[in-house]
Structure 1
Amino acid sequence: MSLQSETVDLLCQLLESGDEADRCYAARTLGVLRSDSAVSILIERLKDEDVDVCVDAAEALGKIGHHSAVPALIDSLRNDNSGEVCSMVAVALGKIASAECVDVLLDVLTQRPQGLEWDGDWDTWWDIQLEAVKALGMAGDEKAVDELVAFIDDDAQQDIENEVLNALVSISGMGLDRVIERLQDTSIKSLHRRRAARALANTRLVKATKILGRSLQDPDPEVRAEAVHALASQNADRYLSALVLLLRDQNGEVRDAAIKAVSHLAQRASGSKALQETLLPILNDPSSPVRATVMNALMPSVHNKPLSHEYYQIVVSGSFDDNAESAAAACRLLGENGDPEAISTLLEHARNREGHPMVRRDAILSIGRFGQVTEAIVEVLMNAVGDSQQAVRLAALTTLMSLDTHHVEADESSQPKQTTIRPLSIVIDAVQGSIRVPDKNATVKEQAEDGMDQPEVSETEVQNGVVVEFDTSLENTFTDASADPDLPNQPPVPQEIADTIKLPDIPAQIVEAGEVSLAMSTLDAIAMDNVDSMFDQEKPQREAPEIDEATREYLDVVEANKAEMRRIRASKRMTPDQDVRRLGTRALAVANDDEAIEALILALNDQDDLIRREAAEAIGEMAQRNRKNPKLMDAVGTLVTQLAVGDLEQKIACARSLSLLGNRAALVPLTEALKDQQANVRVETIHSLARLCCDSLDPVQAEHMVVRDLPSTSVARKLLACLGDDSIGVRVAATRGLAKILPAADDKTLTQHAVDRIIASVIEFTGEEARQVGQALRAFDTSMINKALLVQLRAAEDSVKRSVFIEMIEEILKPDRRQPDQAA
């Protein structure tokens, strides 16, 4: 008997004789395994006393897709009184999709099954009808078309018109025609026509696309807008010109839809010669959003065909638009166009500290595209590094690093140097705190601390992995320190607030006459305190209330969340000068030379913990690109030290970077980090150990000084110990790490021991990681794993443990996930 057959037989036994949980898990797994030999036993479970078992059996039969199950499924659909069971049966019949299935699905669509129960106030027939509609669409039989059309117009039916229309579209002949007719029928409400247009987006048939194209001229704006969305969804590039015209539509919803559609289709048609001919005439459109859309859409095309002088001048003028999005798009287009004449305009925007930060940001980034390193450009960028706007600072640092490559190339070539200031030097100065934000921001901080209202940040955007803020009200914003109860030196309560505070009617302790002592000397006061302490020892101590385990666990979670919020607040509480250093450290990650590495190693020892973490992460990014640079190895010692003594984030960053460096000298320190109290550190350490074991540099060839190397099997034994960790994340990480290390170690004895230990560890705890562990175990010999799981499944003493093993077996044996559920 094959291992697959043995597994199916054991699952069938559980399906027949196990308890409800056994039967549910076994039925679901048999469906995933798609075993024809299980069909008969699954049919029997359609009448199981437990509703959940019936549902799982019906689902499994649908996945297997064997036609012999159809009569039993039809019987259940007609006679079972559970709406949940009947709904799943309808799904199964739709997957099998025989002619007999279609007939019974049409019956249940219009006729309520006898004996079907309500679920409280909810008619479960509605659920069955919904699944029947979906199933009929999946079956694709044209004889369902008339019934589906009639069902849409039935006032008594639930509002599932969208699902019915989607089903009709799936029936590509008559069904599609009926949806088209509905779209063109101006006598019905626009809501129904709009839904018809939306359904047509689900097909790529030319007939549907042509009808949607004609609907762009529909008198109803709702229909036009939906037709625009549908054409964009179909990637109908040939309708780009027509969609461009809708950018001027009188209806705002249509214009918004056209903007999104044009942006999407222009990306696809970037190589088309007709794209510019279509879009350029609209550069002078009176609407700023339209102009922004057109300029964004033109960007991919100007590489092949730069703008003519006429349109170039229009874009230059557009960069001074009052609308920030339109002006920023113009700056980006100037950078993509590549005409060096635009540099002067872009520098003008970059210098303008009164300009919108989005426009200045995009102007600076566009300057970097030209690759020119002149004194004027470097001066502007250096000033922008100390700008009050974070978006501008980040753009300047990013551009400097981009231009540094061109500066080095010019130095190495025979060409004369363009400037004596190297862009990298400016970034390093920023990291070392030599570039500071203007002092005028201190005034804003003082105002914030005095309790004045702070401006709302108008825009945020993720740029190069940093959430940057565009503050258009003030030069910069600061965290209001007075709002944080964890900070010392809170400001006094204003008098107007103090006047409103009321004392309680009854004090916590009544003070009797004569209890208030007269003033005394310090020595007398100490003596009296000593006497009071002696008397207090004789008083019975008040017992602390006992806290049950569940409450204690809840309080621990609350305390952990409070500590996490304090940590997050602390990381956000930084001055602009600190932010310049942080962004500069991050920008150095793209460098490749020794000077940048030296600056990052120096930053690893900075007093600012955020700078240290950014430096560790930047070194890891450098190593990911080129870890063979011997200068990077100078960071190993500091990273090892901070792996041991740093805070949570620093330890995680150091562990990851050490593994990316590929130096096996880090193996021993990483194994020590497995003892860290923080579970997140242990998880990252396990990932790093597995990465370093499987992908490290040869110590001899790389000339690494490895005092003590660890073979992969030794690391694997360390990870085996982690399988008993209290944290599920650590246990799963250890399993995945072993799955990476052991297959390449070629140690069958250790591998067998590890597999047994992994399986045993899952049931030592709650078993919630069973599926994740099962997925990781696929890296081993699946036959060996399955045999071990079958042994454990037979020996399991209760259904809880059996369910764990069944889930792992399912993950081990499940077919390729790309295969469809429906049987061939």
Structure 2
Amino acid sequence: MSSQQYPVSHLEAYQALVTLLEQGDEAQSCYSAKAIADAKYKDAIPQLNQCLYHPDADVVIDAAQALGELAQGDIESLIEVAQHHPEGDARQAALITLSQHECMTQSDQIDEKNKVIKLLSDMTQGRGQHDTWGLNSEWDEWYDLQYLSVKLYGKTAKEEATPLIKALLLQDPEPELEMALYDTLAQVDLDYCQSLLVQQPSPSLTQLRKITKAISHNPSQAASIVLFKLMTQSQDSEVKIICIKALAERKSTDYQWDFANLICDNEERVQDAAVQALVQLEALDQISMANLEPLAMRKEAANLSRLLDLIDQHPDAPSARFIQWLSDTLLSDSNKSNAASPHSLLFEDLNQILKAATIISHQQADESYHKAFNRTLDIAKDTKVSTAKRIQAIHLLGHFKHSSGALLNEYRALLDEKHHDVMIRQACFESLNHFAKEEVYQTLLMAHVLDKDAEMHLITGLSDNTQKECHHDSATPLITGAAQHAASTSTLGAILENEQATQVDKTPLQHEQNINNMVARLEQDFQAYGDIVSDHFKAADKLDLNRRKIAKHPQVPNQILAIRSLANCPSEFAAPLLIEALTGAEPHLQVELFNTMARLGEKQGTGLLKNAFGALANVMYHADSLTKQAATRLLGQLRNRQSLTLILLGTEDEDEAVRLCSLIALKTHMLAKPFSQLPLLEIQRCLQRCLKDKAGGIRKLTLPLLAHLEQEEDVVSLIECAIYDDESQSVAADSLGFAKDKALNLLAQKLPELKDQAQYLAIRLTGQLLAL
């Protein structure tokens, strides 16, 4: 490659790198070698060859690696490093470079190729008889060299390598080396490798898995056939999994039905691998429902859940016969009568019931539909069922579109803050949002979002001292009375009664001081014992304080859960409701409202959210940090001039997190709008200021945004930021492409003058720019 082929600015940068490579210290030479490799500058090959004899091992390693990326280098010098360098890492780097050399693929460099193959063959055999290198260390570095040589040998050698590999396998090598030998054997002699599978005596299970893994690395069609036979004939689950994954990676659809059959394998991991293979091949749709349904109906329950998943995801509707089978088999009264309640069923049985109900929930409202609905509702209400399964059932209730009327009161019961924890209530809100287009459900959501009946949401143990003082005396009898009444009529009441009975005592123990007084009156001989007792009380006080904090920690109220759930509400009534809730909202509610509006805007657009601008403006001027951060997220969605003004204001905030969130919102605006619709001068001045921010994260985010404006006058400040800030340097090269020549010219001038870390970053940036 001739140097005259490069622009002048590039030549100056190249020359600066070569000068540092030849004349710099160890660090400068290392960074320069890496930069030359990034830039693919082949005119520097003589200098890189010379660095192979550098006294510092790191320079030798980086020079060898650079030559490897260029597929160049002096063969004799690299062989000498691989055979005689005192550092094992340098030897390995030279071996890798030799395997990447262009002579391995060029027909006119046969002699050089043979030299490399001979070297790899020799080193594959391990340490020579009189070679003492590496014996002084705790780890034999020759093992690493031999292991690497075996792997490289398999990529370069052909059938002539088979006798050597066979001989080495007979020497009982270490497990990792044995695997590498099988890999090489599978590449150079697949037939012999296949014969090992049927030899007598049969290979051990470990050997069988290693041979299968090695064959899976061979990309040929012949190897695929061997893998298919092993997948269908082997009894070992690990062998099956290896074959499934390998065949799926080859993107061959010839085996998709065989994968489908393996969904019914007795081993769960094989089932998982088979499903994943079908997903990877995007072949689920091609397996007809007529084939999936018989598999589900004839196999044992251990495999049924995965088949039900596939059937539910299939684009074709299940047959009426299969729906009836689900109803009769999984949702039958006999199945239910076998246990007092669903919680006594096996976890897998419960899982299958819910999956069957999921499939049926999409059908018409017939007998099977109502049976599935009732079973799902039973599971959702049963407090003895695991919370995870109850949540799954509650979410599923939202899919029964024909049962919205029957569910309203059930939802109200499950949303009782005194009886149900936050996860159950959150699942309820997410589920009932499926019915949000119905007026009665809108009314229910409005009541919770606007918190119109605050007395219904009183929670024992709230941390608000004023509320405690005002309501403690009156609330306790009411709650206790309600608990006693509910205990006689419901399971939930009994749970509440138990909770009330086991509340943490709010009064400290009074006898502690009495015990301390008695300890103090003990004789001198028992002083050590007295100290232990006193220390115990001190430690117990700390533990008790933590216990009280946990016991009194308030639950998340329904108002917040309802607000969060509206982010996924399919109805247009959500946006006006959220805006209405902003009126007089406390800061913690504003955070929830703004975050929900932002998520809603991402899904439905921001046309209905523009009326929130007044509240946003007030927040950006007067609110706390968390509220401002939430507001900037919504401002990023409201892409108008007023919102952009507030975002620019946020970039000047004293809080770093607010500035960062404001920049993220600004980025959204800049990427979504053409420059003609943006106030470029204001944005440029804002970003120029942010580029000098004291926070590294701010500078890193600002640099590509300022470069996005493509203003030549900013190139100097962008480079200054990149070479003095490690965080910003990582994104600088891609950002400076618009002014590549000018940037390289500036860097070439600066490189000799810079010191230490700044110079290293500048060298790296130069290589990255030259690579563009």
TM-score, normalised to structure 1's length?
Answer: 0.72
Q: CA deviation at 1:714?
A: 1.8
Map 1:316-395; keep pairs closer than 5 Å: 317-318=329-330, 322-336=345-359, 338-340=362-364, 341=366, 342-352=368-378, 353-354=381-382, 355-369=385-399, 371-372=401-402, 374-386=404-416, 388=420, 390-395=422-427
Q: Distance in 2 between matches of 1:474 and 1:209?
A: 60
What amino acid maps onto 1:339 in structure 2?
Answer: Q
Give the structure 1 partner of residue 177 of structure 2.
Answer: 160
CA distance in 2, matches of 1:722, 1:785: 21
2:305 and 2:352 in contact (8 A); partners too? yes
Work out whether residues 601 and 637 of structure 2, in 8 Å CA contact, stay in contact via their aligned partners in 1: yes
Paired with 1:202 and 1:496, the residues of 2 have a C-alpha distance of 74
For 1:587, which of 565, 569, 589 is the aligned residue? 565
The aligned amino acid for 1:38 is A
Query: Equivalent residues in 2 for 1:394-433 (5 A)?
Result: 394-404=426-436, 407=438, 421-433=439-451
**Counterparts of 1:146 and 1:653 in 2: how far apart (Å)?**
68
1:133 matched to 2:146: no
Q: Summarize deviations over 1:705-753 as a string: whole Å, max 9, x none.
A: xxxxx8222222122122222221111111122123x13xxxxxxx233
The residue that corresponds to 2:99 in the other structure is 94
In structure 2, distance between residues paired with 1:437 and 1:358: 29
Q: Match for 1:116 among 126, 129, 133?
A: 133
CA pair 697-30 structure 1, distance change in 2 beyond 3 A? closer
**Hey, what's the Cα distance between the residues in 2 that align with 1:813 and 1:635?**
48
Closer, same or farther: CA 142–385 of 1 in aligned 2, 3 Å: farther
Q: Give the deviation of 1:285 after TM superposition.
A: 4.1
How far 1:206 moved relative to its partner?
3.9
Tell me which residue corresponds to 2:71: 65
- AA of the residue aligned to 1:375: G
Give the Å deviation of 1:145.
4.1
Q: How many Å separate the matches in 2 of 1:498 and 1:228?
A: 70
Letter in 1 for 2:720: A
Partner AA of 2:428 in structure 1: A
Partner of residue 223, structure 2:
208
Distance (whole Å) between structure 1 residues aligned to residue 669 and residue 517 of structure 2: 64
Equivalent in 27, 33, 37 of residue 31 of structure 1:
37
Instruction: Give secondary structure in 1 for the equivalent of 2:573.
Output: helix
Match of 1:811 among 758, 768, 771: 768
CA distance in 1, matches of 2:45, 2:10: 15
2:629 pairs with one of 652, 659, 681 = 652
| 2:271 alignment partner AA | I
Between stretches 82-91 and 291-300, larger displacement belongs to 291-300
Could you tell me how far 1:88 is from its partner in structure 2? 1.0
Which residue, 315, 319, 322 being the options, matches 1:307?
319
Q: Choose 331-340 or 682-691, whichever is displaced more.
A: 331-340
Please state how far the C-alpha of 1:374 moved relative to its aligned partner.
Answer: 4.0
Structure 1 residues 308 and 716, CA gap change in structure 2 (3 angstroms): same
Which aligned pairs between 1:419-458 and structure 2 lie closer than 5 A?
421-433=439-451
CA gap of 1:621–1:318, structure 2 versus 1, over 3 A, is same
CA RMSD of aligned residues (A): 4.3
Larger CA deviation: 188-197 vs 617-626: 617-626
- Residue 781 (str. 1) matches residue 745 (str. 2): no
Counterpart contact for 2:712–2:739, Cα < 8 Å: no
Q: Does 1:619 align with 2:597?
A: yes
- Cα offsets for 1:514-559 (capped at 9, x unmatched): xxxxxxxxxxxxxxxxxxxxxxxxxxxxxxxxxxxxxxxxxxxxxx
Give the distance between the partners of 1:698 and 1:37, measured in 2 at CA: 41
Counterpart of 1:82? 87
**How far has the Cα of 1:806 moved from its partner?**
1.2
Residue 24 of structure 1: how far off its partner (Å): 0.2
Identity %: 19
Q: Report what 1:54 is aligned to.
A: 60
Aligned match of 2:731: 772
Which SS does the other structure have where 1:25 is aligned? helix
Structure 2 residue 694 is the aligned partner of structure 1 residue 726: yes
Determine which structure has the larger helix proportion and give its number: 2
SS in 1 for 2:444: helix
> What per-residue deviation string (whole Å, max 9, x for no partner) do you get for residues 326-349 of structure 1?
434443454345312354234324
Structure 2 Cα separation of the partners of residues 590 and 506 of structure 1 = 62
Matching residue of 1:4: 10
* Conserved? CA contact 1:444–1:477, under 8 Å: no
**Deviation of 1:74 (Å):** 1.3
Q: How does 1:469-484 map to 2 (within 5 A)?
A: none
- Relative distance call for 1:111 and 1:313 in structure 2 (3 A) is closer
Name the CA distance, whole Å, in 2 between partners of 1:573 and 1:138: 63
Distance 1:592 1:194, change over 3 A: closer
- Cα distance in 2 for residues equivalent to 1:635 and 1:696: 21
Select which of 696, 700, 703 maps to 1:735.
Answer: 703
With normalisation by structure 2, the TM-score equals: 0.76
Q: What residue ranges of structure 2 are gaps of 5+ in the alignment?
A: 1-5, 105-112, 337-341, 464-493, 521-526, 532-545
Distance 1:502 1:482 in 2: 31
The offset of 1:282, in angstroms, is 3.9
How far did residue 575 of structure 1 move?
Answer: 1.0
Is 1:752 aligned to 2:727, yes or no? no
Aligned to 2:339: none
| Maintained 8 Å contact 1:130/1:160 | yes
Conserved 8 A contact 2:126-2:143: no
Query: d(CA) in 2 for partners of 1:359 and 1:441?
Result: 26
Q: Report the CA distance shift for 1:214/1:142 in structure 2 as closer, same or farther (over 3 A).
A: same
Native 8 Å contact 1:404 1:423 kept in 2? yes
Partner of 1:88, secondary structure, is: helix
Secondary structure at 1:598's aligned position in 2? helix
Q: Aligned to 2:309, which of 296, 314, 322?
A: 296
**Which residue in the other structure is 1:819 paired with?**
none
Distance in 1 of aligned mates of 2:496 and 2:117:
67
Match of 2:667 in 1: 690
Q: Are the equivalent residues in 1 in contact too, given 2:700–2:727 (CA < 8 A)?
A: no
Q: Structure 1 pair 663/573, CA: closer, same or farther in 2 (3 Å)?
A: farther
What does 1:542-621 align with in structure 2 at a 5 Å threshold?
574-576=554-556, 578=557, 580-591=558-569, 595-604=573-582, 609-621=587-599
1:53 Cα shift? Answer: 0.5
CA distance in 1, matches of 2:717, 2:764: 17
Deviations 1:374-420 (A, max 9, x none): 42244444544558255544443334333435x5xxxxxxxxxxxxx
Q: Distance in 2 between matches of 1:476 and 1:735?
A: 60
**TM-aligned CA deviation for residue 774 of structure 1:** 2.9
Report how far residue 21 of structure 1 moved.
0.8
Query: What's the counterpart of residue 611 of structure 2?
Result: 634
**Measured at CA, do residues 227 and 690 of structure 1 come closer, stay the same or move farther in structure 2, by a change above 3 Å?**
closer
* 8 Å Cα contact 1:237-1:265 kept in structure 2: no
Q: Does 1:19 align with 2:44?
A: no
> 191-200 or 329-338, which moves further after superposition?
329-338
1:29 is aligned with what amino acid?
A
Question: How many Å separate the matches in 1 of 2:310 and 2:357?
Answer: 13
Q: Which of 659, 663, 677 does residue 640 from structure 2 map onto?
A: 663
* Partner in structure 1 of residue 656 of structure 2: 679
Distance 2:90 2:510 in 1: 64
The 1:381/1:46 distance shift into structure 2, 3 A limit, reads same
* Larger deviation, residues 359-368 vs 76-85: 359-368
What letter is aligned with 1:761?
C
Higher RCO, Cα 8 Å, sep 6+? 2
Counterpart residue identity of residue 590, structure 1: N
Change (3 A) 1:277 1:42: same
Contact 1:43–1:72 (CA<8 Å) still a contact in 2?
yes
Retained in 2: the 8 A contact 1:324–1:358? Answer: no
Give, in whole Å, the separation in 2 of the partners of 1:205 and 1:494: 82
Mapped to 1, the partners of 2:138 and 2:240 lie a distance apart of: 39
Task: Kindly provide the CA deviation profile for residues 582-631 of structure 1, in whole angstroms up to 9, marking residues without a partner as x.
Answer: 332122123476632232224445656554322111211233345451x4
In the alignment, what sits opposite 1:454?
none
Supply the distance in 2 between the matched residues of 1:497 and 1:179 (Cα, whole angstroms). 83
